Amino acid sequence: MPDLPLAKSAPSLPEKRKKLSFKDQREFDAMEATIHEKEAKLAELGVESTGEEALRSPKKLRELMHSMAELQSEIESLYTRWSELESAQK
């Protein structure tokens, strides 16, 4: 039985990235800056929560902790959305 040449595979083409809609692309482009801003604000609140004013006033401390929890939730949502937009491009 003669040796048959192996079938050559088709040359692999680079994967074409999907384009986001204009609105989604703008959102994606601004996402990193938005996350950094919210993380900076969270850090500021963290420092403020250890300050004398917050430690002397349970009400102020509760407000700060509530604000920090809201910011943390927003940041997590932003990371989730960023991941979704990134996946949509692949």
For the domain that residue 31 is a member of, what is the CATH number?
1.10.287.380
| Number of domains making up the chain | 1
pLDDT of residue 5: 56
pLDDT over 80 (residue 83): yes
* Residues of the domain holding 30: 22-88
Q: Does residue 12 form part of some domain?
A: no
Q: Does residue 3 form part of some domain?
A: no
Q: Does residue 14 form part of some domain?
A: no
Q: Please report which confidence band the pLDDT of residue 9 belongs to, taking 50, 70 and 90 as the band edges.
A: low
Which spans in 1-90 are helix H? Answer: 22-49, 52-56, 58-88
Q: Which of 52, 48, 29 is closest to 40 using CA atoms?
A: 48
pLDDT in tens, 19-78: 899 999 999 999 999 999 999 999 999 999 999 999 899 999 999 999 999 999 999 999
State the pTM of this model: 0.76
Q: Which of 32, 41, 50, 31 is closest to 68 using CA atoms?
A: 41
Q: Which residue would you say has higher pLDDT here, 71 or 7?
A: 71
